[in-house]
């Protein structure tokens, strides 16, 4: 990739899977290859400072309002009287730059494809991390013909993603490369807080913890996680199990969770930690990891839990993780079959040596999804464009 100039376009810099994968890749690239990188974010976020350590970062999106309160007010007034509002123009310095490749990360950035193609007259790669529900619910215009016509190739985060964009949008298979999401395994396996400290922080005394993670909500199956706890406690009332979810909750979702936990009388059995800057510190407390997602392309949290030797439980046909998990590394259950998963949790609870053996297998499996293994494959795809 010598001297290749690439513009990476991200929807934001949140501590979420899609931005994290690109951050892992760019850190690796910074050490192993030479490229002239620039980053364009549609929105900022907590990872922004980490991206700035690697390359120049711009923040811009169509219709972005100026930071000035006066200009925002003037823009609102202009709209009221039927005139065009005031928006921040595309960064002039970035517009005058030249690039050999534009890398659109997530379907959310596809809307910028025609604009950037017009500016730079270069090849465009789109890295798709979403499946059908997310695309239909949030990015229904991402694969418009106008956007598709300017994209030269696609990267799919899992085989499920590949199949979906082929079936839903008619993208030819020869234009899609599947590169699974990846993590820096060695870094993940070095938590920097002791388990006893964390248990004390959370007030946990249980001998067995079933973990889950992600931004709480319907797609991530937070309601199914609560149901899992309820079924386990119904099947095995006398247990020493706690169900622990690590991740952000919106105000609405928090209220839903609190309501459900109270009605099911599970307050002593479920712990929601909220968002944590270093989630793997908390993942080390888990005995099992339950991926409750109804849809998830290839969630990093599952890879991180596996790296920490946690068996992975998940539902079939929900994304990329069921493509790689079997009974030697965890368990895969029919979609929404919470009872079957609960029975598996109880089996593991009663057989701790099995938990350890399956966890070791999961840790071996995740070595295939290390940044040092998959980043070179992603680089090879980039170089092909």
Domain locations in the chain as residue ranges: 5-182+371-383, 185-369
Residue 83 has a pLDDT of 65
No. of helices (H) and no. of strands (E), the chain: 17, 13
Is the pLDDT assigned to residue 86 strictly greater than 60? no
Residue pointed to by tokens 């690239």 = 29
* C-alpha to C-alpha distance for 161 and 338, rounded to whole angstroms: 24
Interacting residues of 241 by C-beta distance below 8 A, sequence separation 6+: 206, 208, 209, 210, 232, 233, 269, 345, 349
Q: In this structure, what token pair is assigned to residue 170?
A: 């008619």
User: Looking at the predicted structure, is the pLDDT value of residue 175 above 50?
Assistant: yes
Q: How far apart are CA 306 and CA 283, in angstroms?
A: 10
Same fold, 5-182+371-383 and 185-369: yes
Q: Is pLDDT above 70 for 80?
A: no
Give the residues across from 8 on adjacent strands.
Answer: 39, 103
Looking at residue 75, what is its pLDDT? 54
Confidence of residue 73 (pLDDT cuts 50, 70, 90): low
* Torsion, CA 88, CA 90, CA 93, CA 97, rounded to 10: 170
Beta-bridge partners for 243: 210, 270
- Model confidence pLDDT, tens digit, residues 261-297: 999 999 999 999 999 988 889 999 999 999 999 999 9
H helices of 33-154, in order, are: 48-52, 69-80, 92-95, 113-120, 132-138, 145-148
Q: Which among 344, 339, 345, 313 is positioned nearest to 326, based on CA atoms?
A: 313
* 208 beta partners: 241
d(CA 212, CA 210) in angstroms, rounded, equals 7
Q: What is the pLDDT averaged over residues 6-32?
A: 94
What CATH number should be reported for the domain whose range is 185-369? Answer: 3.40.50.2000
Asked whether 355 and 208 are in contact (CB, 8 A), the reply is no
217: left (phi over 0), alpha (psi -120 to 50) or beta: left
5-182+371-383 homologous superfamily: Glycogen Phosphorylase B; (3.40.50.2000)
d(CA 233, CA 301): 25
What per-residue confidence (pLDDT) applies to 72?
Answer: 55
> What share of the chain in percent tops pLDDT 70?
93
Tell if the pTM clears 0.75, that is, is over it.
yes
Distance, CA of 22 to chain centre: 11
């Amino acid at each position: 990739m010598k001297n290749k100039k690439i513009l990476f376009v991200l929807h934001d810099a949140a501590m979420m899977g899609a931005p994290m994968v690109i951050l892992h890749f760019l850190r690796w690239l910074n050490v192993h290859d030479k490229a002239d990188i620039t980053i364009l974010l549609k929105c900022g976020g907590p990872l922004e400072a980490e991206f700035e350590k690697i390359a120049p970062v711009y923040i811009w999106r169509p219709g972005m309002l100026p930071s000035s309160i006066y200009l925002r007010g003037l823009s609102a007034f202009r709209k009221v009287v039927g005139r065009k509002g005031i928006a921040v123009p595309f960064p002039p310095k970035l517009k005058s730059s030249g690039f050999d490749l534009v890398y659109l990360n997530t379907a959310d950035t596809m809307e910028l494809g025609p604009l950037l193609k017009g500016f730079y007259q270069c090849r465009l790669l789109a890295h798709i991390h979403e499946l059908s529900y997310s695309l239909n619910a949030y990015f229904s215009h991402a694969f418009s013909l106008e956007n598709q016509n300017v994209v030269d190739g696609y990267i799919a985060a899992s085989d499920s993603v590949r199949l979906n964009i082929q079936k839903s949008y008619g993208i030819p298979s020869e234009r899609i490369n599947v590169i699974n999401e990846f993590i820096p395994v060695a870094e993940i396996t070095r938590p920097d807080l002791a388990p006893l400290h964390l248990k004390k922080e959370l007030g946990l005394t249980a001998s067995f913890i079933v973990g889950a993670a992600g931004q709480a909500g319907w797609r991530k199956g937070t309601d199914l996680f609560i149901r899992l706890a309820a079924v386990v406690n119904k099947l095995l009332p006398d247990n020493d199990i706690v169900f622990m979810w690590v991740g952000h909750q919106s105000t609405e979702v928090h209220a839903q969770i609190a309501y459900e936990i109270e009605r099911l009388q599970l307050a002593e059995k479920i712990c929601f930690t909220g968002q944590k800057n270093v989630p793997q510190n908390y993942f080390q407390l888990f005995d099992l990891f339950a991926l409750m997602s109804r849809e998830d392309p290839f969630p990093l949290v599952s890879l991180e839990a596996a790296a920490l030797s946690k068996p992975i439980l998940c539902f079939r046909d929900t994304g990329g993780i069921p493509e790689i998990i079997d009974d030697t590394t965890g368990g895969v259950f029919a979609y929404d079959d919470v009872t079957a998963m609960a029975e598996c949790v109880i089996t593991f609870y009663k057989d701790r040596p099995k938990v350890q053996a399956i966890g070791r297998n999961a840790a071996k499996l995740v070595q295939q999804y290390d940044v040092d293994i998959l980043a070179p494959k992603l680089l090879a795809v980039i170089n092909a464009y």
